Amino acid sequence: MSSDIDRQIEQLKRCEPISETEVKELCLKAREILIEEGNVERVQAPITICGDIHGQFQDLMELFRTGGMCPDTNYLFMGDFVDRGHYSVETFLLLLLLKVRYPDRMTLIRGNHESRQITQVYGFYDECVRKYGSSSVWRYCCEEEVLCVHGGLSPSVQSVDQIVLIDRKQEVPHDGSMCDLLWSDPEDIKGWSISPRGAGYVFGADVCHKFVHDNNLELIARAHQLVMEGYKMQFDRRLVTVWSAPNYCYRCGNVASILSFDDSLEKTFKTFDAAPLDARKIPAKAVPLDYFL
């Protein structure tokens, strides 16, 4: 692995981008390293501390000529690697390669420009599309994710990390975060309101947008509500309801859908109708159950 990394480092030192496949593999390796680091990293002196780079690749190389190349010099970069300069792609990927090759000699902390919203405005997104022909590389670098949950959000949960801590090995409680995640629904309101279902809440676009932003998500995917068309995008396409039971309760007449993502998180919806009648087997003693949609 180190030989491939060394080759890519030398290639990027010449300001030559690596392939899209190599970018994807690099981001996966870097994530494995970075996810093990804490919010506060203790580094030992001697160390060289660096400020904003903003895609000025030639000046980054001048920085290395001034301070010494990694691993000869122990570096800490304090964020804002991308945007505004002409070579954000090469700048960020070189620093990421050095992090993967020398994890104990290269410390990278996040700046305000290392976010999806900012990079779509100030250049990194457009540069990725221009140099690679699609937004895939930008997506790999930004680590966008999709949160899948049955119902919706909870006023008791502000981060995905809090969901990890829920004790799910229990009967569903009547209230609280676990109940909310299973019962809540999106609605065209502002903030939160008590759910008419009798459990959970309804929440508006402002709640969804804040949760997506704070947790670096691309999308929240959920089920729980009948959608006649099979799926429904809401809240500026940040939330989708997917319903996969066609002709629900054998009488609603709806179509169903499934949602697929490719390696670049590009979405594809596929809709389908109920199985034909001649393919169904109806139990001899079907017991009707009262239930709300």
Q: Are 172 and 178 in contact (CB under 8 A)?
A: yes
Whether cis (ω within 30° of 0) applies to the bond prior to 246 is no
* Residue of 54, 86, 113, 174 marked active site: 113
Torsion angle of C-alpha atoms 50, 51, 56, 60, degrees rounded to 10:
0
Nearest residue to 114 (alpha-carbon basis) of 136, 96, 132: 96
- The number of beta carbons lying within 10 Å of the beta carbon of residue 140 is 23
CA angle 248, 237, 148 (to 5 degrees): 60
CA dihedral 154, 157, 159, 163 (to 10 degrees): -90
- How far apart CA 142 and CA 138 sit, in angstroms, is 6
For strand 239-242 and strand 217-222, is the pairing parallel, antiparallel, or unpaired? parallel
Sheet holding 145-149, edge to edge: 145-149, 217-222, 239-242, 231-234
Contact 243, 223 (CB under 8 A): yes
**What is the b/e burial string over 83-110, where b = at least 16 CB atoms within 10 angstroms of the residue's CB?**
bebebbbbbbbbbbbbbbbbbebbbbee
CA distance 221 to 151: 9
Number of H-type helices and E-type strands within the chain: 10, 12
Let me know if 113 is a catalytic residue. yes
CA angle 163, 165, 168 (to 5 degrees): 80
Q: Mind telling me the catalytic residues?
A: 113
